[in-house]
Amino acid sequence: MEVARCGTSRKAAQNLYVASSAVNRQILKLEAEMGTDLFDRLPNGIRLNAAGERMLQHIRATLNDFHLMRGELDELKDERTGHVSVAAMDSLFVDLLPAAVEEFSGQYPAVTYAITAVTPWDVASKVLSGEYDVGITFISKLPAGLDVMTQVALPPGVVMASSHPLARKDVVSFADCRSHAFLRLEGRFPMQGGVSPKFSEFWDLLTPSVTCNSTLLLKRLIVTGRGISFFSKLAFLEEISSGEVVWRPIEEPNINALTVGIVVPSQRPLSKVTLEFARGVAQRIKRLELSLLDA
């Protein structure tokens, strides 16, 4: 799994804290046992072939079943252990997920976590492939094999410092945004997937003043008045509450109809501890929705 994820045995060996030669031996041994190559060897690394993709599916399913069995055994012993894996868009790492993990760790101190920030567009595929068990992202068109556990009305909008000229407007148009410095989060947005042709046109023609893959960096630039950006309120809870930042809806009905949701696999059973964590996050995000609607 690690070699497939990294694309090189050397990088996988570093992450696994073993020698690269040992990783190579295990891959060659597995290929000999299966009677087929599992990777295509390329000049700059290796890539799963069709047989390797099928093997990876089997490995993920086997490990998922193993975690389920371990969780059941731990329940019999009245032990609160397990493993929770989550793929979520970067803005949720500011407040929501840290608070959720902190609260859950108090109840389940022995649980381990694998929580990864990915672009909203990639969350569904990460859960569908079995790489992660829970996903949190904007809900647009989901592929078959995923269920929405909960969703809330927290669409993306325009965020800016309270002193910004656009802060005086109740609704902001794409034309308004074009005349101001724009700070863009790297990666594809779900609105580019056919949700809003107007957004796609705006995004494709945009020349941002800053592009980066860190919400925290963009937050600082927004608060200090260096530009505007598109985010859900979830990334700016404290700043909106304090009045440092204002959030305004975009003048586009399709975008305002977007929701943030928690997705889980529909065909793959999840451990009890994973389901409890997901339900805890669902309750937390529902409370946030209500508090922001009342504000």
Asked if the model's pLDDT at residue 81 lies above 80, the reply is no
CATH of residue 234 = 3.40.190.10
The pLDDT, as a whole number, for residue 251 is 92
β pairing state of 45-48 and 39-42: antiparallel
Residue ranges with strand state E in 141-236: 146-152, 157-161, 183-185, 210-212, 229-231
Distances (CA, A) of 29 to 3, 49, 209: 14, 17, 51
Q: Is residue 164 part of a domain?
A: yes
Tokens of 194: 């056919």
The pLDDT, as a whole number, for residue 45 is 83
The pLDDT, as a whole number, for residue 254 is 86
Residue 76 near residue 87, CB atoms below 8 Å:
no
pLDDT band at 5 (very low <50, low <70, confident <90, very high): confident
Q: Is residue 74 part of a domain?
A: no
Asked if the model's pLDDT at residue 36 lies above 60, the reply is yes
The pLDDT, as a whole number, for residue 85 is 94
Q: Is residue 92 part of a domain?
A: no
Q: Is residue 293 part of a domain?
A: no
**Average pLDDT value for residue range 202-215:** 88
The pLDDT, as a whole number, for residue 201 is 84
Other CB atoms within a 10 A radius of the CB of residue 9 amount to 22
Cα–Cα distance measured from residue 78 to residue 74, given in angstroms and rounded to the nearest whole number: 6
pLDDT band at 193 (very low <50, low <70, confident <90, very high): low
pLDDT band at 192 (very low <50, low <70, confident <90, very high): low
Q: Is residue 90 part of a domain?
A: no
Cα–Cα distance measured from residue 106 to residue 100, given in angstroms and rounded to the nearest whole number: 10
**Is the pTM here over 0.95, yes or no?**
no
Q: What is the pLDDT of residues 222-281, one digit of tens each?
A: 999 999 999 999 889 889 989 999 999 999 888 888 899 999 999 888 888 899 999 999
200 three-state secondary structure: helix
**Average pLDDT value for residue range 160-165:** 95
Tell which wins on pLDDT, 188 or 20. 20
Query: What would you report as the CA-atom Rg of the chain, rounded to the nearest whole angstrom?
Result: 22
260 three-state secondary structure: strand
Q: Is residue 88 part of a domain?
A: no
The pLDDT, as a whole number, for residue 260 is 93
Tell which wins on pLDDT, 217 or 82. 217
Q: Is residue 216 part of a domain?
A: yes
Expressed in percent and rounded to 5, the helix, strand and coil fractions of the chain are: 50, 20, 30
Range scoring the smallest mean pLDDT among 28-42, 81-95, 186-200: 186-200
Cα–Cα distance measured from residue 120 to residue 88, given in angstroms and rounded to the nearest whole number: 7
Among residues 213, 179, 215, the alpha carbon closest in space to that of 96 is found at: 215
Cα–Cα distance measured from residue 187 to residue 127, given in angstroms and rounded to the nearest whole number: 18
Among 26, 61, 96, residue at a domain's last position: 61
Q: What are 185's strand-pairing partners?
A: 212
- Structural domain including 169 reads 157-256
CATH of residue 29 = 1.10.10.10
Contacts (Cβ under 8 Å, ≥6 apart) of 210? 183, 184, 218, 221, 226, 227
Average pLDDT score over the chain = 88
The pLDDT, as a whole number, for residue 269 is 86
Tokens of 185: 């989060």
Tally of structural domains, the chain: 2
Q: Is residue 124 part of a domain?
A: no
Residue 82 near residue 111, CB atoms below 8 Å:
yes
Among 38, 61, 84, residue at a domain's last position: 61
Tokens of 109: 């101190």
